[in-house]
Structure 1
Amino acid sequence: MTPTHLPGHVAIPELDHFNGAPAADLRPALLDCLRSDRWAHRITAHRPYPDLDSLLAASDEAAYDLTPAELADALAGETLPRLPEDTYEAAHTALNAAYAAYEAKFGHVFVISLDGTPATQMVNRVLEAIRSRLAHDPEEERAVTAEELRQLAKVRLSRTLRGAGL
């Protein structure tokens, strides 16, 4: 396959691989980005992408179109945010209590994109977000959660592609 070049865009070999690989080969890595069969199918079905920004825009669009049931399935595959190893025990206790309250109210795991958050601020950011989001009604929180999943999918997709995991 010839490299993807457009004026003003830098071609990256990983994107050429992504554009040319069989969809079945990409599926496991895509499902690690967002656990949605429909999202993964749409991402592969709309290839080729001329650049990473186009791929990430397609990721966003595909995630916007997920039904509530598909979002619930995607959430079922999520895990709690990872925190730095040296996080104090008291912080873990506070986070565990906050996670439990969140899950009791909304029925799914708390998701948040921590991309760009310094390690020293992660605990505070997560606790602040949980406390703020616990005030939401279920419909409002569903919209926030969907946005966080979209952000997580783009970050994971970008990292996976740049790390040649696709």
Structure 2
Amino acid sequence: MNLNEFNQISAQQAQQLLMHCVQIPRWTDEISSDRPFISLDDLLNYAKKQASTWTWDEILTALNNHPRIGEKKAQASLTEQEREFSNREQSAIKRSSEIDDALLKGNLAYEKKFGFLFLIRALGLDHTEILQALNYRLLNDAETEQRIVKQQLSEIALLRLTQAVNGQ
């Protein structure tokens, strides 16, 4: 879909498209309501500005609808569009039982420590880089990690929005 099409679809269609980017209803409503946008940069800047206002409760709700990094079976609950985004973002992760085990152990340790799933903008990262980031972030305190998760979720949402509106 291009920007002109995005500007012209119904509010409900726009909200549905935006929910595939991140499941934060206030964000989808605000962006949908503020259309039309003059350029893709205008749309992305507005979306980024709105993402900066996300509350931790909104982020937790979105995380609860997000698959674990490297976990394929969690993708069964995603929409087709969300599966496509997730597959594209995690395409550099090699699949092996050793890597899957390391990611699962890291994810479980992270969830036990912080109470929410590990989130990283995985596009372009391989399994080594993701595991390194996971282990490093396990050293963070909860407040630092919440800031990082908010930033990572925002980057993922903007990446997906770019892909959805650019038709990539």
Q: What TM-score do you get using the length of structure 1 for normalisation?
A: 0.83
What is the alpha-carbon distance in structure 1 between the residues aligned to residue 98 and residue 118 of structure 2?
19
Q: Which has the larger radius of gyration?
A: 1
Question: 2:140 aligns to what?
Answer: 136
Identify which of 132, 149, 159 aligns with 1:155: 159
Contact 2:94 2:127 in 1 (8 A): no
Cα displacement string for residues 5-39 of structure 1 (whole angstroms, at most 9, x for unaligned residues): xxxxxxxx710111121111122221110110001
1:31-46 residue pairs with structure 2 within 5 A?
31-46=19-34
What is the alpha-carbon distance in structure 1 between the residues aligned to residue 160 and residue 7 of structure 2?
17
1:101-120 residue pairs with structure 2 within 5 A?
101-115=109-123, 117=124
Identify which of 55, 76, 84 aligns with 2:43: 55
Q: What TM-score do you get using the length of structure 2 for normalisation?
A: 0.82
User: Residue 114 of structure 1 aligns to which amino acid in structure 2?
Assistant: A
Cα displacement string for residues 83-131 of structure 1 (whole angstroms, at most 9, x for unaligned residues): 457522111111110000011111111111122x1xxx51011101111
Question: 1:5 aligns to what?
Answer: none
Unaligned runs of 5+ in 1: 1-12
User: Residue 166 of structure 2 aligns to which amino acid in structure 1?
Assistant: R
Identify which of 15, 20, 37 aligns with 1:27: 15
% identity of equivalent residues: 28
Question: 1:87 aligns to what?
Answer: 95
What is the alpha-carbon distance in structure 2 between the residues aligned to residue 94 and residue 86 of structure 1?
12
What is the alpha-carbon distance in structure 2 between the residues aligned to residue 81 and residue 14 of structure 1?
29
Aligned residues: 148
Alpha-carbon distance change, 86 to 146 in structure 1, aligned in 2, over 3 angstroms: closer
1:66-81 residue pairs with structure 2 within 5 A?
66-81=54-69
Question: 2:83 aligns to what?
Answer: none
User: Residue 142 of structure 1 aligns to which amino acid in structure 2?
Assistant: Q
What is the alpha-carbon distance in structure 2 between the residues aligned to residue 108 and residue 32 of structure 1?
20
Unaligned runs of 5+ in 2: 71-89
What do you get for the CA RMSD once the two structures are aligned? 1.7
